[in-house]
């Protein structure tokens, strides 16, 4: 009897321990609500891109706004390609964003490496000054920056000759170079580099490695989460850039995707086509985030613990 009743007595206690606690239930509900807050606008955007304008407004007061019901078609997507040179805009944004990310990773990681690993006088003051620039909004700097980029020289290639010209307006470089260096990216790299043991540097230095070799072969290979995070945080503003291209780019063949939204407000507003256009330009961002989601979360967590 003892051997048969012992497990029976343990079952109620185990059931009590396995029963979900009220705070766990509240936390799960809160997560579901928060997920819906972020997901439902995307669902509404995609579903509305399949509907005509009249049906979009008629469905706003019901759950049908989030369901692909009624007259569903891809006519809005066809209208996007007829109204906007979206392929040109997408290629421009891909090139601008990719160049900004690649150059930004190199420049910001080198700056953070110097401030984190090398012995420099006043490096804390330098880091503080870099972080302090985050206080200044871009709108405050936009007009002075336009004046400066219009004065900067550039070597223009004409056949087999080089000519020195002034002014970067209406070019690709004016959409890339001013945004390579980023204070927040330097801070993220600096915090992550500080979490890597400096004994690795000392061992490499004893083996005759230089600083750049340490950066290239030791620090950067160990900084995958930080690289993914900085890549995402650099890609997003580059892809979503709107105000700056409006100010410095006039040629249609140089414009990024966000400027294309203006085309749908000319003459008559086509809301279904706007939803289709925003769906097309949102997909690369979702793919990028899903691909680097784990590295992004890990880097933010490690930075928060360190900082």
- CA separation (Å) from 170 to 41, 88, 95, 180, 271? 34, 15, 15, 18, 30
Comparing CA positions, the residue from 257, 235, 233 lying closest to residue 245 is 257
8 A C-beta contact, residue 303 and residue 188: yes
Q: How far is CA 181 from the centre of its chain?
A: 15
Q: For the chain, what percentages of helix, strand and coil (3-state, to nearest 5) are there? A: 75, 5, 20
* DSSP 3-state of 139: helix
Q: Give 162's strand partners.
A: 157
Name the CATH topology of 81-306.
MetI-like fold (1.10.3720)
Q: Where are the domains of the chain?
A: 21-73, 81-306
More confident: 158 or 172: 172
pLDDT, tens only, 180-211: 999 999 999 999 999 889 888 888 888 888 88
pLDDT above 90 coverage of the chain, percent: 38
Tokens at 89, concatenated: 């805009």
Give the mean pLDDT of 271-282: 91
The span from the CA of 217 to the CA of 214, in Å, is 5
pLDDT, tens only, 28-80: 888 888 888 888 889 999 999 999 988 998 888 889 888 888 888 899 999 89
Q: How sure is the predictor about 299, in pLDDT bands with cuts at 50, 70 and 90? A: low
């Amino acid at each position: 009897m003892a051997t048969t009743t012992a497990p029976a007595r343990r079952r109620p206690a185990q059931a009590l321990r396995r029963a979900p606690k009220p705070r766990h239930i509240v936390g799960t509900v809160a997560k579901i609500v928060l997920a819906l807050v972020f997901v439902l606008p995307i669902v509404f955007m995609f579903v509305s891109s399949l509907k005509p304008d009249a049906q979009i407004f008629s469905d706003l007061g019901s759950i049908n706004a989030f369901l692909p019901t009624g007259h569903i078609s891809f006519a809005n997507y066809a209208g996007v390609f007829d109204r906007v040179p979206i392929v040109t805009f997408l290629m421009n944004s891909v090139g601008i964003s990719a160049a900004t990310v690649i150059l930004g990773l190199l420049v910001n990681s080198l700056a953070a490496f110097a401030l984190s690993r090398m012995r420099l006088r006043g490096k804390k003051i330098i880091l503080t000054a870099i972080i302090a620039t985050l206080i200044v909004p871009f709108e405050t700097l936009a007009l002075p920056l336009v004046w400066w980029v219009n004065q900067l020289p550039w070597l223009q290639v004409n056949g087999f000759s080089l000519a020195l010209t002034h002014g970067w307006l209406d070019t690709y470089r004016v959409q890339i170079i001013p945004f390579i260096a980023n204070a927040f990216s330097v801070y993220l790299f600096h915090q992550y580099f500080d979490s890597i043991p400096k004994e690795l540097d000392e061992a490499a230095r004893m083996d005759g490695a230089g600083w750049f070799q340490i950066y290239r072969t030791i620090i950067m290979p160990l900084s995958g989460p930080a690289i993914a995070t900085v890549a995402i945080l650099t890609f997003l503003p580059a892809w979503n850039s709107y105000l700056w291209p409006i100010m410095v780019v006039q040629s249609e063949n140089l414009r990024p995707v966000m400027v294309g939204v203006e085309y749908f407000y000319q003459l008559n507003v086509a809301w279904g086509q706007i939803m289709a256009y925003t769906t097309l330009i949102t997909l690369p961002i979702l793919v990028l985030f899903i691909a680097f989601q784990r590295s992004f979360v890990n880097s933010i967590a490690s930075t928060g613990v360190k900082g």
